[in-house]
Structure 1
Amino acid sequence: MQYHQFWADMHSNIHHYQMDQLMQWYEHAKAVMDFWPVAYYPFAIRTTPSGAALEDLISPDDYRADWELVRNLAAHAEQEGWPFFMGYEWQGDGSDGDHNVFYLHNDGEILLPRKYLTLRDALAGHEAIAVPHHVAYKPGSRGKNWSTHDEKFSPIAEIYSSHGSSENDDGPIPMERHDHMGPRITGTCYESGAAMGYHISVIASGDNHTVPGEADHGMMCALAENGSKESIWKALRSGRTYGVSRSRIGLDFTIGGKAMGEIAPAGPQALAIEVTGTNAIDRIELLRDQIPEKTYVHSGSWERTALPGRFRFKFEVEFGWGPDLKAFPGNKTKTWTGSLQVPCTLLTVEKIWNSFGQQLNHCDSKGCEFTLTTHQTSETGKWMGSSPTRREGFIFEVEGTIDDVLDLTVNGKSYPLAVRDLLLGTRVFSEYEEAEAMVYARYPDAHHYRDDLIWHSAFKFRVKRAAPEIAYRVSIHEMLDLMPGSSYRLRVWQKNGDIAWSSPVYCE
């Protein structure tokens, strides 16, 4: 069966106080996703008379009214023919871990029992799934309780989100962004559940509370026969999913012709791995029962290979660095208006967007125009706080020659990008003169033998090192002797730090 990739954020929490933004969320979701399973959040902080801040359910009248607004949006999406799934976050009493509940049909209700198995039983006979997330926290305190898990009710689990990686307790990307919830541990992590024999496919999604589909917090991909709501639901139910930490790494992984989430016969089987990265691929790990079985190292295999006369390459342009808000509080946002024009062929443009207010216009094979808005904040990053800078950008795929020169225009200024230079390394550009004028207007006595204050105050963007196609495409075909009862999955590592996690293929 040939499956197609469909991308989404399955963990975007819209709150009661944000319901007037619901249509804005929906329009943004359509701009950055192929479908949207919304996760309405029926919780809020209430303060006790002594001043204790407790997260609790909002009033039933409020969340039921909000739910009808979500239902109305689902009907609107159905009329438009765009796949939209009603969903909400369920937390219970914290002992079974947090889950997002999603419905295939638009007649589901918000059910809020205290226990996971009670929720499962209440939804028996409904087309509903519950997806556990940030699973690796402490058991009993919002970490996943695998002893009560039902793989039919919860066929997929979140392996990565804004919280960090729940894959294991000691791997890269620790769960430190929300440090009030504590560090991750073994016993509740994804690998602990898999070790108990569960068939658990994986996704990555944001746990985003301000905008759906933040690229920097992870996305998931469903492998479906087509883009219909029913076909995508079948993929979710079957565990044909995978997750990425940031950019949309293309991943096709089969054993014996069986896709992710499926079961292959024991014995010698054909292993097929096709990866289309967004940056140079460093290595691909094949794990059997959570232990690396093989590592295919791509770094060092292509760098000395001569490029053909005409070739494809990818590079990222990222906007957002700016002045310290304590010194220049009026610079919380920055608008970047620009275009990329190519003398060769522009093939694809991937949006690396993390907030509202982004536009990609007039895109064709010769170029595109865009308007981006970047945001800065003085928040610490705790309790759903964003990072100091929310950057925005694109990954461009171009086909041309080593002698081509691309024209990137930003806020009226031209920045020629020679392909030869793009392949050599990363460059940073800044609005240096504007920063210099701003600094001396406010601090006329700030002249110094170093330009720290000016450089640190300048808005900047960077053009990352380009990767030729030979760097970001990997094809592996070989025989693999499958062990009965084992599971096999992939981790794909790019040189820029982006990761993809496949769901397992199981051996009977």
Structure 2
Amino acid sequence: MARTQPVSPPAAYSLQWGDLHKHLTGPGTDISRLDDIVSAGADHLDFLAVFCYPFKWYRKGRERGIREETVGNRPEFANWWAQIQSTAQQWLSPDEFVTFPAYEWHGNRRRWGDHHVVYRTEGYPLDDEWELPALCENMAPRDALVIPHHTGYLPGERGKDWDTFDPELSPVTEVYSSHGSSEGAATPVPMDENADMGPRTSGGTFRDALDRGIRVGAVASNDGPGLPGTWNNGIVGLWATELTRDGIWDAIRERRTYGVTGDRIELWWELDGTPMGGLLEASDSVTARISVDCPQPLDRVELVHNGRVARTYTHPAPDPSGANGLHRVLVEFGWGPTSEYGDFDSTECSWSGTVNVTNGDLRRVWPRFVGLGQTHELTDDGCHFDLVTARGEPADRILPESAPKSHRQALIVEYVGTIDTDLVVSLDDHDDSTVSHEAAVEDTHLFPFLEESWDRLATEFDLGRDDIDNEDIVYHNARKVRINRAFHQSACGAGVVFDDLPVADGWNYYYVRASQDDGQYAWSSPIWIDN
């Protein structure tokens, strides 16, 4: 039972996107590239924790040995921390890009679960206190956050022990990352990306904390090396009064936060006028007002109350008949040659060009970037991009969660189109890929670069067309551009109202879970009622 009506976030807040957990030191990283990696984050994020992962790997035992990760401090970590703090300060640019110095706690993670520390300012230590209660005691007088992450693993084996929790230091927890979802032990999005630490189980999840009466909000972040804000590895959205350290910090402390898997789903919600993260006094029934705006079609909005889905709104199926107006389309680049078929000179592909519309108006762009080397800029003459894709296992893969699929990159573009509009993908090294708006609202269109693939087989393997019996190898190793179906803005969002929500005796929590048709998710911070 839901009704739809416009719901707008308060004008006092603006939505900011960031990553609070991206390894910039330690395994899989190159500390000499700190500036390059932070710069890559600044290209598409509003804020970033400049993050020290103070760990090293080594081998022990017989020849080749077994890999082990350090525990506690090492002499070089002090230098890492100094560089992290210097970089955070250097890149801080209020109203443009906000940074914080941060590090992964390198104490007794097995016993207490994994946590990372974010400082509001530079000048605080890389605290290597071994036990979590002692760490929290040290952090209490500092401007610090202690954020639990991948909490859904087994408590006592790197899952979160919620017996030790300070709501002042830990106003939020990481509900999703490259590991997967810690929402609950049997909730929709899995947590299977790190089979070494898994599987997910009960005891340490987000819902376990809420069921115990713990007041903790939700964020998502990447966890692991590579591009900050890597798509589908988790990023955090928050509603801040300003894009400054104080503005971001206050939003986290007040739990005006939520996490998304990758796509930047705009989510705001309130309960009887109290915003996400807030606390209401006693009430017999309440009304939830939710605003959801997705880059791609909205599937459903669920309201979870005390561990159960209390209400569900299912968005109507997209109607392609409304051809005019504001539309959103996913444009993908990638695929290409793979070493599975042969010893290609390189399986890396570069893409430079623009996405544009003729007889229309390009409004905004959402990136779906995986891995370093991606840039985009929206100008008056289109969205200019430089992208890199590669198939196969990356040579620098180290952690299970550090190898996102980089065989494709994507941009979601929003444009105003009519029956006279064309979508045009122009590449510096290939003919244009063009789809009329009228066709785009009906179907997906794929452009395989077959002639280029034939030429590659001839150049690299001395194979002419008569030499190839099975032409699968041409298509299977071809670069491709996919212009997905365009959807009207109305398919992508809604204002949803749930009236007369039940309130149980005692402590109640409510949070919103929103999802797109393609499986992208958002989880809000809860609102609580003390009844």
What is the match of residue 341 of structure 1?
Answer: 356
Matches within 5 A, 1:283-432: 283-300=300-317, 302-303=318-319, 306-307=321-322, 310-326=324-340, 327-342=342-357, 343-361=359-377, 363-364=379-380, 366-378=381-393, 383-387=400-404, 389-410=406-427, 411-432=429-450
Mark the runs of 5 or more structure 1 residues left unpaired by the alignment: none
Deviation at 1:211, TM superposition (A): 2.2
Does residue 459 of structure 1 match 2:483?
A: no
Cα offsets for 1:158-211 (capped at 9, x unmatched): 111111111111233322221111210011111111111101111111113122
Specify the code of the residue in structure 2 equivalent to 1:505.
Answer: I
Deviation at 1:58, TM superposition (A): 7.5
Select 1:62's aligned residue among 76, 82, 88. 76
Deviation at 1:388, TM superposition (A): 5.2
Matches within 5 A, 1:57-456: 57=71, 60-78=74-92, 82-93=97-108, 94-265=110-281, 266-300=283-317, 302-303=318-319, 306-307=321-322, 310-326=324-340, 327-342=342-357, 343-361=359-377, 363-364=379-380, 366-378=381-393, 383-387=400-404, 389-410=406-427, 411-440=429-458, 442=461, 443=463, 447-448=468-469, 450-456=470-476
CA distance in 1: counterparts of 2:292 and 2:94, whole angstroms = 33
CA distance in 2: counterparts of 1:79 and 1:217, whole angstroms = 25
Runs of 4+ in 1 over 6 A off after TM superposition: none
CA distance in 1: counterparts of 2:354 and 2:49, whole angstroms = 32
Q: Residues 281 and 354 of structure 1: is their aligned pair in 2 closer, same or farther, counting only changes over 3 Å?
A: same
Specify the code of the residue in structure 2 equivalent to 1:503.
Answer: S
Deviation at 1:499, TM superposition (A): 0.7
Q: Quote the sequence identity (%).
A: 28
CA distance in 1: counterparts of 2:491 and 2:33, whole angstroms = 41
Structure 1 contact 222–241 (Cα < 8 Å) conserved: yes
What is the match of residue 500 of structure 2?
Answer: 480
Mark the runs of 5 or more structure 2 residues left unpaired by the alignment: 1-9
Deviation at 1:468, TM superposition (A): 0.6
What is the match of residue 35 of structure 1?
Answer: 47
Cα offsets for 1:355-400 (capped at 9, x unmatched): 2222224612x52222211133325886345145342221100012
CA distance in 1: counterparts of 2:19 and 2:325, whole angstroms = 32
Does residue 497 of structure 1 match 2:508?
A: no
Deviation at 1:151, TM superposition (A): 2.0
Cα offsets for 1:278-305 (capped at 9, x unmatched): 11111111111121011101033x537x
Cα offsets for 1:86-113 (capped at 9, x unmatched): 1000142211111110001211111122
Structure 2 contact 72–106 (Cα < 8 Å) conserved: no
Of stretches 197-206 and 207-216 in structure 1, the one that deviates more from structure 2 is 207-216
Structure 1 contact 178–381 (Cα < 8 Å) conserved: no
CA distance in 1: counterparts of 2:401 and 2:238, whole angstroms = 27
Structure 2 contact 50–88 (Cα < 8 Å) conserved: no
CA distance in 1: counterparts of 2:74 and 2:495, whole angstroms = 53
SS for the counterpart of 2:175 is strand
Of stretches 260-269 and 82-91 in structure 1, the one that deviates more from structure 2 is 260-269
What is the match of residue 60 of structure 2?
Answer: 48
